[in-house]
Structures are given as C-alpha cells and as structure tokens.
Amino acid sequence: MSIDVTVVIPVYNEEEILEDALVELLTNLRRHQNSFEVIVSANGCVDDTEAIAERLAQSHGELRLHRCPEPDYGEALKQGIELAQGQFVICEEIDLCDDRFHRTALAMLNADTELAMVVGSKALPGARDHRPYFRRFATRVLNRMLRTATGWRGTDTHGLKAIRRQLMLPVVERCELRRDLFASELVIRAFHMGCRVVEYPIELSEKRPPSIGLMRRVPKVLSDMGKLAVTVRRNND
C-alpha cells in the first residue's frame, strides 16, 4: 500500500519523553491520516531511547527505528527524509509533535501541487513562542545572520517543516552541511533554487528544555554559518 505521509523525528537520548510523545503522535495521526509512517531517526544514544523505540515499533506497525552511529541531528534528519516512503514528509522534533501544524501543512500541500515546503515559523507575525526569552532571542539573531550571510528572505529555518518529497529530494541531495545547520541549509537552498516555499506561524511550547545547551552549540553553528554562506553563493553563481 502506498504511504501518504512520513513523519521523521531525529532523536538523541530522549528516554524520558519518547514513549508518551510517540503514542500521542500516533493517536493523532490515526485520526486524520489513512496511511502514514513514523521514522524515529536515532544516532549515538547512550540511554534507553533506541530500546524503547524498538519495543514500540513491535506493537505499532506504523513506527520504525532508523539508527546511524554518530550523534548528528542533520545527518539523522537527512537519512530519515531519504528513507521516507510518503509523498509528504514532516520533519518533527520529539519535544514538539505539533498536530495542528501537521493538519494545516498537509492541507496546504494537498491544495497546491507546486508547493514544495511549508516551514513552521516561530518568528512570523501570529506565531506564539513560549520558550524562554534567551532562546527566542537566539532564534532571531540566528535567522538575521542567515539572511545577511546567504541572501535568504524568510523568518525561520530550524524546527517544523512539511515537504513534498519529490520536489525537495534534489535540494536535500545538494545540502553539504550536517548537525544544526542542515535544516537551515535545506530551507535556504530551496529558496535559492526557486522552490515554492511558504511559512506558517506556529505555537511552540517544548515538553522539556533542549537536550544540548545553547552556548555549547554556538561555536559549531558560527563556523558552519561561514561555510553555508560560501557554498550557497558558489552554487548560485
């Protein structure tokens, strides 16, 4: 049977919230989707995350676990998109799993066959971001830097997305960065390659604080930002 929707969730050491979040996600998806799958894309976990996902996959046919060895959010997301069978792929985070975004973004993709991606934006007017002030501020700074460095014209790149797989696979294959900035490169490349992308304002409240502290991510993000500016401009010339 063909699959309409794949939800890809990179996870890293999420044993505390994984089971409840996945059961709630599956329950919601069953309400509005006839055929879907959920790929938990885990790598480098040192807690019980992978064992929990494996056990749940045995009792929920729509769920599967994909493993790769190194902790790398971007690589896990990229491999999940490549493995997806659905014509639409939702890129999720285990601490969000936003059913309202799923329903809205899928309706938008169904209504417009040229639409390549719906980006859930935390910064668009109408969005409600309940994270602490410091992280909201960091999101704005990051996105401003991305705009300046790459010439992109959106409001947000990291977090929820829904994509039409066939139109976005060529973009995925051209992305060179991994870790945090893969998701940003995906959105920025789609923009520069002329894909039709729309943003949708989301309401965001996380089920737990981020697993990796913001300040620890900054040096790698800054060095990748430099690489992104160079590679995006090179590929556009």
**Contact window for ligand GTP (CB under 6 A) among 24-32, 40-48, 54-62, 219-227:** 40-48
How near is the Cβ of 163 to Mg ion at its closest, in Å? 20
| Interaction of residue 157 with ligand GTP, rule CB under 6 A | no
Residue among 68 and 193 whose Cβ is closer to ligand GTP: 68
Residues 9/39, Cβ–Cβ less than 8 Å: yes
C-alpha 206/C-alpha 129 separation (Å) is: 9
Q: Which does 120 bind (CB under 5 to 8 A by kind): Mg ion, ligand GTP, none?
A: none
Q: Which does 12 bind (CB under 5 to 8 A by kind): ligand GTP, Mg ion, none?
A: ligand GTP
How near is the Cβ of 74 to Mg ion at its closest, in Å? 15
C-alpha 187/C-alpha 175 separation (Å) is: 10
C-alpha 108/C-alpha 169 separation (Å) is: 19
How near is the Cβ of 194 to ligand GTP at its closest, in Å? 26
Query: What is the 8-class DSSP label of residue 9?
Result: E
| Interaction of residue 203 with Mg ion, rule CB under 5 A | no
| Interaction of residue 10 with ligand GTP, rule CB under 6 A | yes
Q: Which does 37 bind (CB under 5 to 8 A by kind): Mg ion, ligand GTP, none?
A: none
Which residues are CB-neighbours of 11 under 8 A, at least 6 positions away? 18, 40, 41, 42, 45, 49, 53, 76, 94
Which residues are CB-neighbours of 10 under 8 A, at least 6 positions away? 41, 42, 43, 73, 76, 77, 80, 93
| Interaction of residue 206 with Mg ion, rule CB under 5 A | yes
| Interaction of residue 95 with Mg ion, rule CB under 5 A | yes
Residues 74-93 that bind ligand GTP (CB under 6 A): 76, 93
Which pair of tokens denotes residue 170?
Answer: 């060529």
Q: Which does 71 bind (CB under 5 to 8 A by kind): Mg ion, ligand GTP, none?
A: ligand GTP
C-alpha 185/C-alpha 171 separation (Å) is: 9
Which residues lie near Mg ion (CB under 5 A)? 95, 206, 210
